[in-house]
Structure 1
């Protein structure tokens, strides 16, 4: 499939029954400010750009939401169990962005979108959700980098910034170019 715009990207997701099943399942939780993001989106696009016929397995399906009133990690685990009860073969990971700023030593996030904008890599900072049965996309840095095989750090993780080492370590650990050799990694 030829991907060159956000609308192409949306069509690709709409045509993927597995992805739509994931989005419908997550929607059933009615979580506030909820998105499915990161590898769920990124891997789909990179698989299509590499003409892979089989989906690259995901380590997890990142579901994020924002609720500053209930920040107990055990609540997230309960949501994961609910998702597992509906789709038991999926690697669910649910995180409340109201508490995730601590991992990056950042100021508190004000929303899921704010949390997503703080992800280390631009192609990871893309989320989707269903609103009135339509795919809603949030990409604070656009989808162009994702669609053009380029991996770059988000602003807080750029070279010279205090968090750059986190970006470098993730790139080394993920080793994405082994799975998707057409990628260009920028530091």
Structure 2
């Protein structure tokens, strides 16, 4: 039996409640999860997204569901054995559902090995949901004991109900978001979904690379005599000028000794002269 309408509920919250109450498999999963007696829990992410977008697209049968994410928060027990025990209990009560169980209080223990950077411990289930990769899936719901549907949506419900995928940069990198959008094939499964492109990757320009593109500066030798600064600079500039003059003389000698190219037989600026015969003769 559906609880009476909450007069204080916002329209978007009531819209989500109506969709969930009309989705039998999700209501069944919520009741099974509630029977575990966890103090802080929800079903959210992809399971909730599928239910909402299937309903908004008018699908008569639920689309393929990879898993049903039961997220809970229990900082007093961070062991994998606790997750495994809860998963076994869910599978025994509803073996036909693809359960997945994660204690959000323990995410910081394995996040670095999976995603390449460490994160701080989370302080609540709501804070955990706020870090999920897309705003549309950063939503969780749970049932109270009167079958009232409670909603945890730190970023609101707009993206979920408007079927829009946007990157949540709280913890997911741009590359993770890009890979997820390719893997999930959102627009193939739900044609009305809008997927925002991934933000550009930040490229770090190394100091050594930047220096390699700069011309080397002529070193200014340190004067050990008592001559004035002006006289010292004049001596250095004269020395550099002499070096430049010697280099110019060497280049002129190489040019004068180089074999002379055969003159081109075609008249200058001829329309029939080819580009390869002479640089001065360019076909029109």
In the alignment, which residue of structure 2 is the partner of 1:154?
168
From 86, 89, 93, the counterpart of 1:82: 89
- How many angstroms apart in 1 are the aligned matches of 2:144 and 2:168? 27
In the alignment, which residue of structure 2 is the partner of 1:141?
155
Give how far 1:38 is off. 0.6
Matched, 1:175 2:185: yes
Deviations 1:52-110 (A, max 9, x none): 11101211000011111111112111111101111111110010001113425321111
In the alignment, which residue of structure 1 is the partner of 2:13?
6
Q: Equivalent residue of 1:156, what SS?
A: coil
In the alignment, which residue of structure 2 is the partner of 1:120?
133
Show the 5 A alignment for 1:90-129: 90-101=97-108, 102-103=110-111, 105-129=118-142
**Bigger CA drift: 89-98 or 17-26?**
17-26
Deviations 1:122-170 (A, max 9, x none): 111110001232000111111111111210012426xxxx822111111
- How many angstroms apart in 2 are the aligned matches of 1:29 and 1:74? 15
Q: Equivalent residue of 2:175, what SS?
A: helix
**Is residue 59–residue 91 contact of structure 1 (8 Å, CA) maintained in 2?**
yes
Larger radius of gyration: 2
- How many angstroms apart in 2 are the aligned matches of 1:183 and 1:106? 31
Give how far 1:49 is off. 1.6
In the alignment, which residue of structure 1 is the partner of 2:68?
61
**TM-score, normalised by the number of residues in structure 2:** 0.60
Deviations 1:11-46 (A, max 9, x none): 121122221111110001011211111111101111
- How many angstroms apart in 1 are the aligned matches of 2:189 and 2:143? 29
From 10, 13, 25, the counterpart of 1:18: 25
Unpaired stretches in structure 2, ≥5 consecutive residues: 1-10, 199-284
Matched, 1:163 2:188: no
- From the two aligned structures, give the one with the greater strand fraction: 1
Unpaired stretches in structure 1, ≥5 consecutive residues: none
Runs of 4+ in 1 over 4 A off after TM superposition: none
